[in-house]
Amino acid sequence: MNKILLFYKYVYIDDSESVAISQRELQARLRFKGRSIIASEGVNITLEGTKENIAEYIREMEKDPRFQGIHWKISEGTGSAFPKLSIKVRSEIVTGNLGVCDVNPNEVTGIHLKPEELHEWIRSGREFYIVDMRNAYEHRVGHFAGSILPKMNNFRDLAKITKEISHLKEKTVLTVCTGGVRCEKASGFLITQGFKDVYQLDGGIVSYMEKYPNEDFKGKLYVFDNRITMMPARPDSLGGGFYTDDPKHEVIGRCDFCNTPCDRYLNCFDNFCHKHLITCEECEKKTDGEIKCPSGCHETRHGKRKGKISFGAGFLKWIINSSKA
């Protein structure tokens, strides 16, 4: 049976290219598919493979002191969560484009709050504010009850939304995201901007869902692979067996076309849009599967405005040279 392994670590890597090469060799040998981002600041990796191969991968990784002490998060796979193996070297493991305001989570970051502690906080009546650091389209199908949901198109909007929640600088703030990697930087950035009491959910939303299915996190969890959404875990399942037959489970999404409860994402059929649209089966049938944005296609789900296609100078130079041939 296939499993999904999700993990990250902020750790200085002075040989990103060689780490990428060794990761490709190891992951290919273990027949993984998935996505790996390697940067000088650390790694951010999601892989799908067999339970046995994932266990071997973790053993191999922990031989390197840089990759010890990682919070490994395992959930059920489908066998087709990723189309291929992708390993890239980038400047950041999560793109924030904070420039000179960038933070190193090893130096400044929010206090890690365990899922058990958050569960207790929610029931204690303590005053605190959950700020969801995920993208707006992720919020639509699942989020913590009563949480603040900034309208982020992508993580690069972090600086902008920080201004929107500036009234919370003297309050206790808990940042949450899928697996924790975005909150490491988001919580640290809030601290540098004057927020006094900042926490982050240890292990992310996925860890909370596994311990407390269908309790405080409502709906489904958006994930960046072909599963698209992940449901709460069965309490008796190791590594995340997910289900919705619990009477406590709530569908919080709404169909973009008829507003009925729905948490099923399809992509806009427009080739230059592909925006995620929550679409019920009935509305999909009405369009023969060729759904498009109800109010017209104006921007992608990442917030980029739809417009004319622009080509780089290199491409234009190639066109000119080709015409001379």
How confident is the model at residue 239, as a pLDDT?
A: 41
How confident is the model at residue 237, as a pLDDT?
A: 47
How confident is the model at residue 233, as a pLDDT?
A: 55
The percentage of the chain sitting over the pLDDT mark of 70, rounded to a whole number, equals 87
- Across 33-62, b (16+ Cβ under 10 Å) vs e yields bbbbbbbbbbbbbbbbbbeebbeebeeebe
Is residue 230 very low, low, confident or very high in pLDDT (cuts 50, 70, 90)? confident
- Residue whose C-alpha is closest to residue 217's, from 182, 176, 158, 183: 176
What are 256-289's pLDDT values in tens digits? 999 999 999 999 998 888 889 999 999 999 988 8
Instruction: Return d(Cα 110, Cα 42) in angstroms, integer.
Output: 18
pLDDT at 36 over 70: yes
Residues 132 and 150 sit within 8 Å (Cβ to Cβ) = yes
Q: What is the number of residues in the chain? A: 325
Is residue 240 very low, low, confident or very high in pLDDT (cuts 50, 70, 90)? very low
How confident is the model at residue 300, as a pLDDT?
A: 60
**Catalytic amino acids?**
177
How confident is the model at residue 234, as a pLDDT?
A: 56
How confident is the model at residue 232, as a pLDDT?
A: 62
What are 46-102's pLDDT values in tens digits? 999 999 999 999 999 999 999 999 999 998 899 999 999 999 999 999 988 888 889
Question: How far out from the chain centre does Cα 311 lie?
Answer: 29
Residues 200 and 183 sit within 8 Å (Cβ to Cβ) = yes
The percentage of the chain sitting over the pLDDT mark of 90, rounded to a whole number, equals 72
Q: Can you list the domains of the chain with their CATH numbers? A: 2-89 (3.30.70.100), 99-230 (3.40.250.10), 253-325 (no CATH)
**Mean pLDDT over each residue of the chain, to the nearest integer:** 89
What are 120-177's pLDDT values in tens digits? 999 999 999 999 999 999 999 999 999 999 999 999 999 999 999 999 999 999 999 9
